[in-house]
Structure 1
Amino acid sequence: MASQANRKIATAVVREDADQKQRLLDRAFALAFKGLVYAQIWEDPVVDMEALAIEPGNRIATIASGGCNVFFYLTADPGEIVAVDLNTAHVALNHLKRTAIERLPDHASLRRFFGDADSKANIADYQHYIAPHLDAVSRAYWEGRDLAGRRRIGGFARGVYRRGLLGSFIGLAHLAARLNGVDPRVLLTAKSVAEQRAIFDAKFAPFFDRGFIRWVTAQRSSLFGLGIPPAQYDALAGGEPMADVLRARLEKLACDFPLADNYFAWQAFGRGYGKDDRAPLPPYLQACHYDAVKARAGRVQMLHANMTDMLAASDAASFDRYIFLDAQDWMSDAQLAALWTEVTRTARPGARVLFRTAAEPSLLPGRLPDDLLRRWEYRAEDSAGFTRRDRSAIYGGVHLYVLRGAGI
């Protein structure tokens, strides 16, 4: 099972037409990506919901990642969500979330489990409420041990958001900042957006001018911890020094949105959601959505699969909404054409596709066959607005395509 999963990731990531050095980097990323990467998804679900305009009964195909957005989509009353991922850890995490949502006794226990994610009471709840109802593969994953010999489920007693590839990357970034005299948590003391700006300009902006930081970030492997493969590195850089690009993205995260409304900033600067009343949570964990998410959690189907393969096995005209995160940044032209051929075949009238890119523009023009791309209308103005409002601030572009009428 593990070797099959690794082969799927390698097939998606490794560019066989690249030179030997690039293939070696791709394989190194595939190796890093096989474990837990994201304990939390880093696409803004509020932007997603606005762009997707999900209608009751819609059938949704999405990449699962950390699962936060998958379960928030349930508040729009879709008929079914098919969530796929090549990463076995992400599939296990989504199974854990669904079972916890369905089986934990109340919102307080769910909030403690996935919001605080650092209490021994979570392990007792796992044993009593979750484990007996978890599928065998996911249970084996969570009760198995990581490279340090720790049971993986124990992360929910010690801070799961400090685990995984991204959690470790953020931890290293915090260490580097403290060694240079900056405690990232200082940003969370700001009482206004103006204070956030002042702290960023004084404490964080100069950090990216240091020679060592500029050298490190110029290495393609340096961003593996962000889940950015070598194929995506150049698109993210856009011809600029990577240190400058990262400073601009961090500036947006730190300065463009109030802390009271941006849980992505809490994760980046505090390594958790925070526990006081003003600390925000992902919408699927908010009390106002608890009843709807719990009642509809069974509508989520998780598959360890490639999106194109899943769609190829589906009936024609069987999906209304598609979410690809940034996975297309990794794809060759042939892979893009195969994906969009299946999207177009399985799309119902009015279908919408949402995806993100490391660079600002959509990557589809010039790479998809013209007859295929003409079937879809790009909502350029809307997409620019979604990009501005995406609080995670990681991506250069958020893109919405809508299926045109028959015969186009």
Structure 2
Amino acid sequence: MTEIAPDAGYHRNTKLKDALLQHAPLSAEGLSERLFGLMFSGLVYAQIWEDPEVDMAAMDLMEGHRIVTIGSGGCNMLAYLSRQPGSIDVVDLNPNHIALNKLKIAAFRHLPDHASVVRLLSGSEDRANIQLYERHILPYLDASTRTYWQKRGLNGKRRVSVFNRNIYRTGLLGRFIALGHLIAKLHGIRLEDMAAARSLRDQRQFFDTRIAPLFDKPLIRFITARKSSLFGLGIPPQQYDELASLSDNGSIAPILRHRLEKLACHFPLRENYFAWQAFMRRYPRPEEGVLPTYLQPQHYEAIRASADRVNVHHESVTDLLAAKPAGSVDRVVLLDAQDWMTDQQLTALWTEITRTAAPGARVIFRTAAECSVLDGRLPASLLDRWTYDGDRSAALNTQDRSAIYGGFHIYEKREG
């Protein structure tokens, strides 16, 4: 049997806590960070909320490229495999994401066909999914990952039983979306009714008449005035402060309204599975729209053939790169992780990125605000080694179907 490599310290979450805590424990900022850390210590993202089509266009991803990426829900890492890169190193500080990434890779490597992969990973609510797992995946998992998915909760069910129902309704983000639906229903709005939209005009009308007015409701303004209100989106206190600074009155409600408007109105519903998860809390059926890139049939064979090129690591990007030789990485995907970082952490990260970057290497990332987090925070000796493609970044940001970020950024290493 071929096993996915085990990962030391797999079940300890101290690395994540260390990355989050920047203030004294009893300060207001410190208490907020610790509350976020507590909420973020479980499964957060069953689905990653960055658009892989935008990622691959920004990276100009080609066969043979060596990629380092943050894992999150694992969807984008698998989408990158459709371009048959030379290798992908996946890192994440959250051990729950490590386990999910390893299981998704094993599904492509060991399930018998595309239909069974879709059945298991699309949230199909098929109670027979557990049989697919036990017959085709469980025997090939390393000991830590096997222990994770076999562990029983207080209800006596194993963790893996989540695949018998819609896994995308679980995790911190899934529960946050459920809470949003509940709050909307308290105001007489069923967000699921968005599924009836048949055109961008219908989507716009639904948003303008039903969703937009919610942001003027006292309850929603009260909730969004608190940093903890966005912890369910995986947005830490630092990112909340950045978003609030964009508003004239310091309220985050207008920012959320604008981002939700893009999600609801800027892309045809058939083409935007992010909108399906937000409004319908599921993926579209075949007659309703497309699944995420990694679950689309035309990519199955390439992903399956390349799945053994992925290595999953429970550590930070900085630590992983520190162990790599110079010039050994072609593409780096940082998601929005830099929004959390201090200047010192940013400098340490980009020191290793610059050292390990091959000629022409690219780094992509997203930010809560529109501007890049690097300006004025990195030493000139580091930043001058990179070229920022502002026009391409802005153009691709408008194409990002997930719609929750303010900025998308592309940096390319200068020659010499």
TM-score range, shorter chain: over 0.9
- In the alignment, structure 1 residue 137 sits paired with structure 2 residue 147: no
After TM superposition, the structure 1 = structure 2 runs for residues 6-45 of structure 1, keeping only pairs within 5 Å, are: 6-16=13-23, 20-45=27-52
Alignment equivalent of 2:350, drawn from 340, 347, 364? 340
> Amino acid of the residue matched to residue 5 of structure 1?
R
> Amino acid of the residue matched to residue 290 of structure 1?
Y
Is the CA contact 1:75–1:293 (under 8 Å) kept in the aligned structure 2?
Answer: yes
Is the CA contact 2:362–2:412 (under 8 Å) kept in the aligned structure 1?
Answer: yes
Could you tell me which residue of structure 2 aligns to residue 216 of structure 1? 223
Alignment equivalent of 2:199, drawn from 171, 192, 201? 192
State the Cα distance separating 1:158 from its structure 2 match: 1.5
| Of 19-28 and 83-92, the range deviating more from structure 2 | 19-28
CA–CA separation in structure 1 for the residues paired with 2:207 and 2:231:
25
1:124-143 C-alpha deviation (Å, 9 max, x unpaired)? 10010010111111111111
Alignment equivalent of 1:382, drawn from 370, 392, 414? 392
> Amino acid of the residue matched to residue 389 of structure 2?
R
1:107-126 C-alpha deviation (Å, 9 max, x unpaired)? 11111111134111210100
- In the alignment, structure 1 residue 398 sits paired with structure 2 residue 408: yes
Alignment equivalent of 2:233, drawn from 219, 226, 229? 226
State the Cα distance separating 1:149 from its structure 2 match: 4.7
Residues 1:399 and 1:19: Cα distance change in structure 2 (over 3 Å):
farther
| Of 339-348 and 140-149, the range deviating more from structure 2 | 140-149
TM-score (normalizing by structure 2): 0.95
Could you tell me which residue of structure 1 aligns to residue 291 of structure 2? 281
May I ask how many residue pairs the two structures share in their alignment?
A: 406
Alignment equivalent of 1:79, drawn from 67, 86, 97? 86
Alignment equivalent of 1:292, drawn from 302, 306, 311? 302
Could you tell me which residue of structure 2 aligns to residue 202 of structure 1? 209
> Amino acid of the residue matched to residue 145 of structure 2?
S
Could you tell me which residue of structure 1 aligns to residue 278 of structure 2? 268
Is the CA contact 2:11–2:95 (under 8 Å) kept in the aligned structure 1?
Answer: no
- In the alignment, structure 1 residue 257 sits paired with structure 2 residue 264: no
Is the CA contact 2:123–2:168 (under 8 Å) kept in the aligned structure 1?
Answer: no
Is the CA contact 1:237–1:359 (under 8 Å) kept in the aligned structure 2?
Answer: no
Is the CA contact 2:123–2:165 (under 8 Å) kept in the aligned structure 1?
Answer: no
- In the alignment, structure 1 residue 183 sits paired with structure 2 residue 180: no
| Of 239-248 and 161-170, the range deviating more from structure 2 | 239-248
1:251-300 C-alpha deviation (Å, 9 max, x unpaired)? 00000000110000000001110224222211100001000001111101
> Amino acid of the residue matched to residue 32 of structure 2?
L
State the Cα distance separating 1:55 from its structure 2 match: 2.1
CA–CA separation in structure 1 for the residues paired with 2:277 and 2:157:
23
Which protein is richer in helix relative to its size? 1
CA–CA separation in structure 1 for the residues paired with 2:339 and 2:281:
27
Partner of 1:362: helix, strand, or coil? coil
- In the alignment, structure 1 residue 368 sits paired with structure 2 residue 350: no
Could you tell me which residue of structure 1 aligns to residue 4 of structure 2? none
CA–CA separation in structure 2 for the residues paired with 1:308 and 1:157:
36
Residues 1:3 and 1:126: Cα distance change in structure 2 (over 3 Å):
closer
- In the alignment, structure 1 residue 245 sits paired with structure 2 residue 255: yes
> Amino acid of the residue matched to residue 163 of structure 1?
T
CA–CA separation in structure 2 for the residues paired with 1:282 and 1:305:
26
Partner of 1:301: helix, strand, or coil? strand
State the Cα distance separating 1:146 from its structure 2 match: 4.0
1:8-41 C-alpha deviation (Å, 9 max, x unpaired)? 1111111137971101110111111111000000
Is the CA contact 2:84–2:303 (under 8 Å) kept in the aligned structure 1?
Answer: no
1:37-62 C-alpha deviation (Å, 9 max, x unpaired)? 00000000000000001222111000
CA–CA separation in structure 2 for the residues paired with 1:291 and 1:246:
39
1:224-250 C-alpha deviation (Å, 9 max, x unpaired)? 100001011111233422111111100
Could you tell me which residue of structure 2 aligns to residue 91 of structure 1? 98
After TM superposition, the structure 1 = structure 2 runs for residues 295-310 of structure 1, keeping only pairs within 5 Å, are: 295-310=305-320
Alignment equivalent of 2:161, drawn from 150, 154, 157? 154
Partner of 1:120: helix, strand, or coil? coil
Residues 1:23 and 1:376: Cα distance change in structure 2 (over 3 Å):
same
- In the alignment, structure 1 residue 50 sits paired with structure 2 residue 50: no
Is the CA contact 1:353–1:402 (under 8 Å) kept in the aligned structure 2?
Answer: yes
- In the alignment, structure 1 residue 312 sits paired with structure 2 residue 322: yes
1:318-360 C-alpha deviation (Å, 9 max, x unpaired)? 1000000000000000000000000000000000000000000
> Amino acid of the residue matched to residue 229 of structure 2?
S
> Amino acid of the residue matched to residue 223 of structure 2?
V
CA–CA separation in structure 1 for the residues paired with 2:270 and 2:25:
45
Q: What value does the CA root-mean-square deviation take over the aligned residues?
A: 1.4
> Amino acid of the residue matched to residue 259 of structure 1?
L
Partner of 1:116: helix, strand, or coil? coil
Structure 1: 5+ residue stretches without partners: none
> Amino acid of the residue matched to residue 252 of structure 1?
K
TM-score (normalizing by structure 1): 0.97
CA–CA separation in structure 1 for the residues paired with 2:124 and 2:312:
22
| Of 92-101 and 273-282, the range deviating more from structure 2 | 273-282
CA–CA separation in structure 2 for the residues paired with 1:149 and 1:251:
41
Residues 1:340 and 1:248: Cα distance change in structure 2 (over 3 Å):
same
Structure 2: 5+ residue stretches without partners: 1-7
Could you tell me which residue of structure 1 aligns to residue 127 of structure 2? 120
Partner of 1:249: helix, strand, or coil? helix
1:183-236 C-alpha deviation (Å, 9 max, x unpaired)? 011111100001000011000000000011001011001111000010111112
Partner of 1:223: helix, strand, or coil? helix
CA–CA separation in structure 2 for the residues paired with 1:105 and 1:347:
37
